[in-house]
Structures are given as C-alpha cells and as structure tokens.
Amino acid sequence: METLGKKLRECREAKKLSQNELVKLIEAHHSIIGKYERDEVKPSIDVVKKIANFLDTTVGYLLGETQDKNLLKDPAILKRLNEISSFNDYDKEHILYAIDGLIKSVKIKNIAAL
C-alpha cells in the first residue's frame, strides 16, 4: 500500500514542483515536505487539504481512501452528491437505488460492446 508520503511525492513531481516550491505554496517550514514524503511526520488534515488543493488531487487520494487522484473533483457530481446528502433517508435510499440500477445498466452495456 502506498503511503501518504509516496503519494505526496508522486503528485508533487507530476506537477513539476520542488519541495521548496510546495512549502512556499502551503506556507510551511522549509523542511516539512521532505519529512512528510519520508513519512517521518504526519500533516494535519488542514495541511493535507492545502496540499491536495495545490497538487490538484483529493484528500481521499493522499490519505489512501481511494486510488483515483481525481475522484470527486467534478463540480457537477459534487453538487449532486451534496444535494442528495441533504435529503431524508427514505429519499436518499430511493435515489441511490436508481443510480445503482443505472450504473449496472451501463456496465452491462459496456461488457456487451466488447
């Protein structure tokens, strides 16, 4: 399993940023990014949010909750998910059931197309 440090380094290098440049962006101590990347120190959630923002990824990706760097970065999807989360449990359950059916249908269609 990749650690936060490895993912941080991978994302930073993909953005062609040095450790020093990222430190300046997040307004932190000059040696902290190296410590994060070596997994010597764990950043606070607020720092992880800043880092994810500057590296165009998500907190979930950096923390290992997902393998998709761009998961939930689509504003249209996020808006819909936020709306759904505000509904009562009964309505949420029915909406998610319908979404699950649509997802299953698309997967079957894609398999059939192979």
pLDDT range class, residue 9, cuts 50, 70, 90: very high
pLDDT at 88: 95
More confident residue, 48 or 112: 48
Residues 6+ apart with CB under 8 A from 84: 92, 95, 96
**1 DSSP 8-state letter:** -
> Is the model's pTM score more than 0.75?
no
Domains defined along the chain, listed by start: 4-62 (1.10.260.40), 75-113 (no CATH)
Reported as a single tens digit per residue, the pLDDT across 53-104 is 999 888 888 998 877 666 566 677 778 888 998 999 999 999 999 999 999 9
Token digits for 111?
């398999």
Distances (CA, A) of 3 to 7, 10, 24: 6, 11, 23
φ/ψ of 99, rounded to 5, equals -65, -45
pLDDT in tens, 38-49: 999 999 999 999
What pLDDT does 69 receive? 66
Look at the block and give the residue holding tokens 């808006």.
79
* 97 backbone dihedrals φ, ψ, rounded to 5°: -60, -45
C-alpha of 101 from chain center: 25
The residues, any chain, with a CB within 8 Å of residue 9's CB and separated by 6 or more, are 37
Higher pLDDT, 22 or 60: 22
